[in-house]
Amino acid sequence: MAKPSRTTSVIFIFIGGGTPSLFSGAAIQTLLNGIRARTALLPNLEITLEANPGAAEARHFAAYRAAGVNRLSIGVQSLSAAQLTTLQRIHNPDQARAAIAAARDAGFDNLNLDLMFALPAQRLREAAIDLEAALELAPEHISYYQLTIEPDTLFHANPPILPDDEVAAEMAIQGRELLAQAGFMQYEVSAYSQRNHQCRHNLNYWQFGDYLGIGAGAHGKLTEVILNNKSWRIWRTAKHAHPSIYLQAAANDFIANRTELSADDCVCEFALNALRLTDGFNTELFMQTTGLPLTYLAAQITSAIADGLLSVDGDHIQPTALGRDFLDDLVGRFA
């Protein structure tokens, strides 16, 4: 059994999962000071904060940068005024552009823009115009993903008319081509970056790494090494979701749910994440992060290779172009 890869230093911090840009710069400074006082931080670690592009949030950008945040992820979603209204976003295209300018003025040289396609009634050319407008803003990273209707949302209760699957697929291909022409590398299904600007936080997810979730509703994945590193267990944790319950909990009672992953869980979750990566993964990564021998993947890999969904080069496993296009089918084989 391979030993898990361990680290004693924090290699990234991601402040998100809601609207953290409503916090003041002083609040973010307090949070980061508290983390620095409790654990070792690498000198050049990535500290990302998710932000909405409204004026109220943008006024905090300089203070966030002074506190140590060095990467902003801005939820633009679209630069079409009509689509932003349809999506019920509270910002408009001018405010989005102003927020990006404010981030640059504050000293941020690592920006991600979230952008969606296959929006209600969107046509192929309209998706291209939207993406081209985002590219004109010269971000270092773009998360370009298809709109999905989530449960318990207004769209779920009253579904809009969306482009059909064929048009959505054409939009995805068109987007990849436009991003490549602009110098962006696709390193994950929906993630594109300029050279050396891949998101470390997301890469850690997709490589099945550990992370500690802090705050109401936060989820974590932690590997517990036992018996002098001879074996280990992998835990999924979830903190109390309701803020008032979380704040009233005792210091040792923040966790609402703690589940140990079975071997089958590990195989499924590893595939769900690692197969999203354009470059795939080395077999050593699977063994190091799950503690399982490669035989747990052998039958599925053989089947996927036969169907043209995976390619293997030595100890490197990579989704083919067909595998990336039919990722749900590929991942489902490992469930």
What CATH number is attached to the domain comprising 294?
A: 1.10.10.920
> 245 is written with which tokens?
């319950």
Domain boundary among the residues 186, 204, 222 is at 204
pLDDT of residue 145: 94
d(CA 204, CA 222): 12
Residues of the chain falling short of pLDDT 50: 1-2, 4
Count the Cβ atoms, other than its own, within 10 Å of residue 92: 16
Q: Domain total for the chain?
A: 3
Count the Cβ atoms, other than its own, within 10 Å of residue 35: 15
d(CA 58, CA 21): 8
Tens of pLDDT, residues 82-141: 999 999 898 999 999 999 999 999 999 999 999 999 999 999 999 999 999 999 999 999
Cβ atoms of 304 and 312 closer than 8 Å: no
296 & 168 share domain: no
Stated length of the chain = 335
Adjacent-strand bridge partners of 222 = 235
200 & 213 share domain: no
The three-point CA angle 23-67-10 to 5° equals 100
3-state SS of the chain is: CCCCCCCCEEEEEEECCCCHHHCCHHHHHHHHHHHHHHCEEEEEEEEEEEECCCHHHHCCHHHHHHHCCCEEEEEEECCCHHHHHHCCCCCCHHHHHHHHHHHHHCCCCCEEEEEEECCCCCCHHHHHHHHHHHHCCCCCEEEEEECCCCCCCHHHHCCCCCCCHHHHHHHHHHHHHHHHHCCCEEEECCEEECCCCCCHHHHHHHCCCCECCCCCCCEEEEEEEECCCCEEEEEEEEECCCHHHHHHCCCCCCEEEEEECCHHHHHHHHHHHHCCECCCEEHHHHHHHHCCCCHHHHHHHHHHHHCCCEEEECCEEEECHHHHHCHHHHHHCCC
pLDDT of residue 229: 62
163 & 231 share domain: no
Does some domain include residue 335?
Answer: yes
25 & 123 share domain: yes
d(CA 110, CA 70): 7
Does some domain include residue 268?
Answer: no
> 297 is written with which tokens?
């993947």
159 & 257 share domain: no
235 & 128 share domain: no
84 & 195 share domain: yes
Domain boundary among the residues 165, 185, 204 is at 204
d(CA 153, CA 174): 29
Does some domain include residue 3?
Answer: no
Q: Find the CATH number of the domain harbouring 171.
A: 3.80.30.20
Radius of gyration, CA atoms only, the chain: 21
pLDDT of residue 1: 43
308 & 174 share domain: no
> 121 is written with which tokens?
């009634």
pLDDT of residue 68: 95
224 & 152 share domain: no
105 & 227 share domain: no
30 & 129 share domain: yes
Four-point Cα dihedral 46, 42, 224, 289, nearest 10: 60
d(CA 34, CA 219): 20
Does some domain include residue 4?
Answer: no
What's the domain range around 19? 9-204
pLDDT of residue 19: 84
Cβ atoms of 259 and 235 closer than 8 Å: yes
Does some domain include residue 79?
Answer: yes
Cβ atoms of 168 and 218 closer than 8 Å: no
Cβ atoms of 294 and 228 closer than 8 Å: no
Cβ atoms of 168 and 145 closer than 8 Å: no
Does some domain include residue 239?
Answer: yes
Does some domain include residue 2?
Answer: no
153 & 231 share domain: no
Tens of pLDDT, residues 115-132: 999 999 999 999 999 999
